[in-house]
Structures are given as structure tokens and as C-alpha cells.
Amino acid sequence: MTSKAASKEVVEWARWLTVILLAISLSNVFAADQVVISDDGRQIRLNGDGTWVQLSQDRYATTAQGQRVRLRPDGTWAVMDPNTPQVPTTARAGFGAPTNVASDVGLLLTEVAVLKRSLQRAKTTHAEVRTVYRVRVANHTAQALDYGDLQTKLHPRSNRGARFEIVAITPSSGSIAPGQEAVIEVIAQGGPRWFGVRFLSLEVDAGALGNPVKRILAKNMDEVERRDVERF
């Protein structure tokens, strides 16, 4: 064997050895369980056997200042302190609020449902659709929280730009006493076409329900219920 051929064979063996070592390294990395954050902010554990588990309903986000925050389903958020991760600093803020802005009013979009009613007209069947948003409002202030004119300050939408007209809000008037909670039901005419729609949202204008900033409450489409009803 010539020196040129021997050198070529050594290079080939070195290349294959590198590939084998890299494969072994990667298999060791993925053999152990890992905790990752999904694209929608959920905490996921990747198991070594190829399965995965969602660890909680909490979501995570990063503020403009680079702080990591935990968004809880109950409408509160907490700064993740790297020095004391088990004892985060909590603050009262509504789910969907900018994570660097505190608020004494908690907002949580608890449910979104698309209701369809079938109507028989002559020999054809028509469908009437409405979308229902249910929002839990927690008043952490020392004063009563008036509902005000919510009809013009709440905006049901989809991520594809569709806007739904509000036909009713329950309750339509009244207030929430300090330290109390209430559920507001927003009924909108129409609904999503589903194809290509990733989430439905309810925009809350600044000044509505005692909030200093605009909030966007959202539900992914896999969390949106679809129900057939006989009447609205």
C-alpha cells in the first residue's frame, strides 16, 4: 500500500470515528429527561423514551428587561428569581397583561366556546354561529370596580384578523366589590372558519375594568369548545 493510499484510509477512518462519537454523544443527550419551554410558553418534559409530558398549565415569558416570568392559570404572574427559584416574587396581574406591568385587577379567559344552531329553511339547512367568551375578573383594589361601557371596550377577534360583533354582555352593568371576583360572559355574532386559525382573542382596551393598559386574552384553538345548540 502506498503512503498516499494509507493516508487516505486514515482520513476515512477518522471521519467515521467522528460520526460514531457524535451519534453516541447525541444519544446520551436525549436519553436523559429534559425540561424545555414550548413555542407557546408551556413547560414540557421530554422523556428519554421519546414521549413528552406537560408539567403544568403555567406559561413562561420574557420581559423587555430580560426577566423570566411565570404566568399562572389563575391570572397571577411571578418573576423567576435565579437566586431563589423556589420563592419567586409574586405580583398581581391579569393573564394576558404585559409581563412588566403590574395591575390590581386580575383577568383570566376561562372559556371560549363556538356555538352552532342549525335552522331549517324550506329545503335547505342554514347554520347560525356565535362565539362565547367567559372572563373571570378579580378585584384586588380597595374600591368597587364598575363594569362601565364594556360593549365598546372589548373586541373579540381571531389571529387571522376576523372581528366578531358583540351582541350581548352579561352582566351588562354593576360592579365588583373589593376582594371579590365575578365572571363576565361576552357573546359575539359569528365564529372562526377554523382552517388556519391558531387562536381566538378578546382584546380589553386600556381603561376597561380598571386596567391601565390594553390586554389581549387568548385561547388556542385546541382549547376552544365546539357545541351544537338548539337555541341561543
CB 217 within 8 A of CB 156: no
Model confidence band, residue 161 (pLDDT cutoffs 50, 70, 90): confident
pLDDT in tens, 180-210: 899 999 999 998 887 888 889 898 888 888 7
Say if CB 201 and CB 216 are below 8 A apart.
yes
pTM flag (> 0.75): no
Dihedral in degrees, nearest 10, Cα atoms 140, 145, 148, 151: 40
37-66 pLDDT tens trace: 776 667 777 877 777 777 766 777 777 666
Exposed/middle/buried for 187, CB within 10 Å: 0-12, 13-18, 19+? middle
- Give yes or no for residue 178 having a pLDDT over 80: yes
